[in-house]
Each structure stands twice: as C-alpha cells, then as structure tokens.
C-alpha cells in the first residue's frame, strides 16, 4: 500500500513525464470511497425500485388480462421494490461495518440496523400480500 496520498504521475506511454501534467495525482481517500459505496448502493436501490414496481405492475396486468400469474414473480417483485427503498434510506459501507461489527460484509441480521430489519420484514410481508391478492386468496 502507498505511504503517500498521491499516486503515480500520468505521462506518455514510454515513461517520459508530460510537461503540462502534474507529476503526482491525488488518490481517493477512505471517506470518498465510503461515499462512493453508498452512492452505488443508492443507485442500485433506485434500480431495484424501478424493476420491482415495473415487474409488479406487469404481473398484475397479465393476471387481470389473461387470468394467469407466476407465483414466484408475484412474490419477488414487491420484495425487490421494498428492498430498493431500504438501500436508498439505509446504505452501509464496508468501513461502517468494520467499525461497528468488525466484519466487511453483513452476514447475519445482527449486522443490520433496526430500520433495515424492519424494512426486510415489510418487504417479505409486501411480497406475501401481493401473492395472496393476485391469487385471490384474500
């Protein structure tokens, strides 16, 4: 690992330095890496919401038009939408998990915040409710 906060200079391919380019370029700090991780999670959450809501709408339209639905799809798409909301509201970084729990990845429910735990339960309930409604059980 580098001791300084500067990376290698950018220059020509043959190794000679470019006159107008600084010889040392700053490398991203730990704080900006954490912010990038959270931004990626939020963008992924937005994608989950779009896919989950779109899939739920599509499945309902198909079920109402033809009377046929796919149970796994009816359960999973609402779950994706609510988990996308969780990623938007509660993004976590590797540094946060290392500082709080000493792990790089959340491997059990103990590594999630209360808000995340509640939204996971809400996501499962939304999937089950959508499945029950689309099948005509309720």
pLDDT, tens digit, 9 for 90 and up, residues 57-85: 999 999 999 999 999 999 999 999 999 99
Domain count, the chain: 1
Query: Looking at the domain assignment, is residue 38 inside a domain?
Result: yes
Question: Which of the four pLDDT bands, split at 50, 70 and 90, describes residue 27?
Answer: low
Which of 4-8, 33-37, 73-77 has the largest mean confidence? 73-77
**56 belongs to a structural domain:** yes
**Closest-CA residue to 84 (of 112, 107, 53, 55):** 53
Residue 136 has what DSSP assignment? T
Query: Alpha-carbon distance 60 to 108, whole Å?
Result: 33
Hunting for tokens 């149970």 — which residue is that?
Answer: 71
Angle at 36 between CA 31 and CA 37, to 5 degrees: 100
49: number of Cβ within 10 Å? 18
Tell me what percent of the residues of the chain surpass a pLDDT of 90: 55
Q: Which domain holds residue 123?
A: 31-135
As a whole number, the mean pLDDT across the chain is: 84
Specify if 6 maps to a domain. Answer: no
Tell me if 11 is assigned to some domain.
Answer: no
């Amino acid at each position: 690992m580098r001791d300084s906060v500067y990376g290698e200079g950018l220059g020509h391919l043959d190794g000679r330095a470019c006159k107008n380019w600084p010889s040392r370029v700053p490398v991203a700090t730990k704080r900006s890496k954490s912010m990038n991780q959270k931004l990626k999670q939020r963008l992924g959450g937005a994608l989950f919401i779009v896919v989950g809501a779109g899939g739920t709408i599509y499945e309902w339209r198909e079920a109402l038009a033809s009377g046929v639905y796919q149970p796994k799809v009816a359960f999973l798409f609402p779950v994706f939408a609510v988990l996308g909301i969780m990623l938007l509201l509660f993004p976590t970084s590797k540094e946060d998990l290392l500082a709080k729990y000493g792990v790089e990845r959340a491997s059990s429910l103990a590594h999630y915040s209360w808000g995340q735990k509640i939204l996971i339960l809400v996501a499962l309930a939304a999937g089950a409710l959508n499945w029950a409604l689309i099948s005509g059980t309720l």
